[in-house]
Structure 1
Amino acid sequence: MDALKKIEPFEGKRFPLRMTEVKSSSHLVRPHWHDHLEFIHLLEGTAQVHIDNRTFTVDAPAILFINSCKIHSMQALHGKSCTIRGFIFDMSLLAGSLEHSESQHVYARFIQTAPILEPILPSHPIWNELVVPFELAYQEYAKQAIGCELMIKSSLYRMIIPILRGYQRETCLNKDLDKSLAHYKRLKPALDFIESCYDQKIYTDTLGSLVNMSLFHFTRFFKKVTGVTPTVFINRYRVEMAKRLLIQQDLTITQIAERTGFCNVNYFDKVFKEMNGFTPLELRKKFTEG
């Protein structure tokens, strides 16, 4: 079994983006994860794709989107050659341009909920909106001509917008985007607190006080904005942090439960399995044993 790795492709790089091409009749992408976002274009062959607890069998041509912190891998099937191109980029390439825009709320929620998207095929309405800028970006990256960074960044914007619009439609965020953005800004102190104090006991009334709301009104408001209750949101964030510790640290499951704010290891195990389809121990065995 392949050992799972965290990939850090942009250390010390001014332009936090990388594009690759891989051709193989076996492993195309070995199990790994990263904080960054990624598009993968399957150009040739049939491949099996694993993203967290989801598995897809995909025929070329197809485009996959890998959200932040998702464990993913890809193998060619039937011993036949596959060709893929990868487009991996740091979220900072988008965040600055979206700041103070109406899209900021949709993008922030998209990253926080980290949905696993189905493979996008030529029959999909947004296929051309993805494949054309993807290939343009790849050619610019390969040539490294003057202005290639701007061309690649432009292509990236053209690719991410249809993804966000699709997410917006599916989650009904388009009913009143101005109001949604205002709601997100009001909730941000509570979200920031969760991210910085997830390893501690977090009380819902404490979160409510950060945004000057009663417990009752905060709970309703939080679910309206995020789509889930405060408890589910907190547990989801804790589980993502636990995945990193399971992969990177030689700690016991009990120690990881304690370091990610779970009251006991049994509850940690239960919540982790409900969210991922496998237990913490199964994750460690599946991806870290050589």
Structure 2
Amino acid sequence: MNDKNMYFDRKGKESFIDIFFKNDIKNGENFKRHWHEHLQIYYFVDGEAHLECDSKKFKVGAKNLAIVNSNELHYLESLSDELKFYTIRVEPTFLFSNQVDLLQTKYFSPLALNRIFFDNIIQNDTPALECIKNILKEYSHKEIGYELSIKASIYQFIVSLLRGHVEKILSENEFEERKFALERFECVFNIIEEKYTEKINLKELADSVNLSIHHFCRTFKQITGKTTTDYINGVRLNKSIYYLKQTNLNVTEIAMKCGFDSINYFSRLFKKYYDMSPTEYRKECIK
């Protein structure tokens, strides 16, 4: 896969965990929709953000935990200049021992195969939050035995997820179908990201994955939870948020810059998604 902004591949990493701290994403800036095979945890320290996982939308802020499951399209947009958060990427296979036992068969295999889907937002779970805080502390200080402490905390965190935050468990066939569809449609997501300022032809998208328009539209909705038109408009509206917050362009200029050929259509869609007009949204942001 050539576009590492869409797909993140951990192959070649020696560590079982990667941790990143971000504090440079300004109000209106975002990560474009992408997916990866590993389990990812967000821990928000300050500020607010808009998070989308597949078709689910969440507003997250300080002390919130969020889970991004394997093969889950997700998108993050900053809602403040003070946004600060940690990203924790966990490689589930590190939990395996050399000897196959009941625990490995019952819990770790489904985790490592990414077939367990957890709730995206973890709320009111103090033990889970404390596990994440301990992981960050141990990773930062790196005192002797820190790897063991991190591993113990991840085990405990997974226990919290399994006990209170399992959304669904995919069958092997369901998982393989989902992964295959995401890989097949990656070129479609890239076309939309690259051409959102232009008129996007549905036949071009369908041809890129060798499907009829009918089958393309049905499969696209199965993957994203949205129609193709809604998804494209969502990308365009997400782009418009940045221009409203970070530039002095007027609303008409922003609409044209984001691929809308009608200011009325842009304003109507914007109000539908955000419950206010683009002008009202801009005024709210500069209060």
Q: Do Structure 1 and Structure 2 share a fold, with TM-score over 0.5?
A: yes
Partner of 1:40: 44
Contact 2:48–2:78 under 8 Å retained in 1? no
Question: Distance in 2 between the 1:191 and 1:254 partners?
Answer: 26
Offset, 1:261: 0.7
Partner of 2:79: 71
The amino acid of 1:40's aligned partner reads F
Contact 2:22–2:86 under 8 Å retained in 1? yes
Question: Distance in 2 between the 1:157 and 1:35 partners?
Answer: 31
Asked if 1:239 is matched to 2:237, the reply is: yes
Which stretch of structure 1 is more off in the superposition, 193-202 or 138-147? 138-147
Asked if 1:280 is matched to 2:278, the reply is: yes
Question: Distance in 1 between the 2:199 and 2:64 partners?
Answer: 41
Question: Distance in 2 between the 1:150 and 1:200 partners?
Answer: 52
**TM-score (ref. length: structure 2):** 0.59
> Gaps spanning 5+ residues in structure 2: where?
1-17, 32-40, 51-56, 68-74, 94-111
| Match for residue 206 of structure 1 among 201, 204, 207 | 204
After superposition, the Cα gap between the structure-2 partners of 1:266 and 1:19, relative to the gap in structure 1 and judged at 3 Å, is: closer
Contact 1:40–1:87 under 8 Å retained in 2? yes
Contact 1:102–1:178 under 8 Å retained in 2? no
Contact 1:173–1:180 under 8 Å retained in 2? no
Question: Distance in 2 between the 1:63 and 1:148 partners?
Answer: 24
Question: Distance in 1 between the 2:170 and 2:250 partners?
Answer: 40
Partner of 1:230: 228
Offset, 1:69: 0.7
Question: Distance in 2 between the 1:259 and 1:176 partners?
Answer: 39
Contact 1:134–1:159 under 8 Å retained in 2? yes
Partner of 1:121: 124
Partner of 2:177: 179
Contact 2:19–2:89 under 8 Å retained in 1? no
| Match for residue 259 of structure 1 among 251, 257, 271 | 257
CA deviation string 1:242-286 (max 9, x = no partner): 111112222111111111111211111111121222222222111
Contact 1:63–1:121 under 8 Å retained in 2? no
Q: What are the equivalent positions in structure 2 for 1:1-290 lying under 5 Å apart?
A: 17-18=20-21, 32=27, 35=30, 38-40=42-44, 63-65=64-66, 68-71=76-79, 87-89=85-87, 94=89, 103=114, 117=121, 120-122=123-125, 128=127, 130-140=128-138, 143=141, 145=143, 162=161, 169=168, 176-289=174-287
Q: How many residues align?
A: 224
The amino acid of 1:213's aligned partner reads L
Partner of 1:28: none
The root-mean-square deviation of aligned C-alpha atoms, in Å, is 4.7
After superposition, the Cα gap between the structure-2 partners of 1:96 and 1:237, relative to the gap in structure 1 and judged at 3 Å, is: farther
Residue identity (%): 25
Contact 1:39–1:87 under 8 Å retained in 2? yes
Contact 1:136–1:155 under 8 Å retained in 2? yes
> Gaps spanning 5+ residues in structure 1: where?
1-14, 21-30, 43-48, 75-85
Offset, 1:218: 0.8
Which stretch of structure 1 is more off in the superposition, 152-161 or 62-71? 152-161
Question: Distance in 2 between the 1:197 and 1:156 partners?
Answer: 41
After superposition, the Cα gap between the structure-2 partners of 1:204 and 1:133, relative to the gap in structure 1 and judged at 3 Å, is: same
Contact 1:19–1:141 under 8 Å retained in 2? no
RCO (CA 8 Å, sep 6+): is it higher in 1 or 2?
1
Offset, 1:207: 0.6
Question: Distance in 2 between the 1:218 and 1:34 partners?
Answer: 30
After superposition, the Cα gap between the structure-2 partners of 1:34 and 1:250, relative to the gap in structure 1 and judged at 3 Å, is: closer
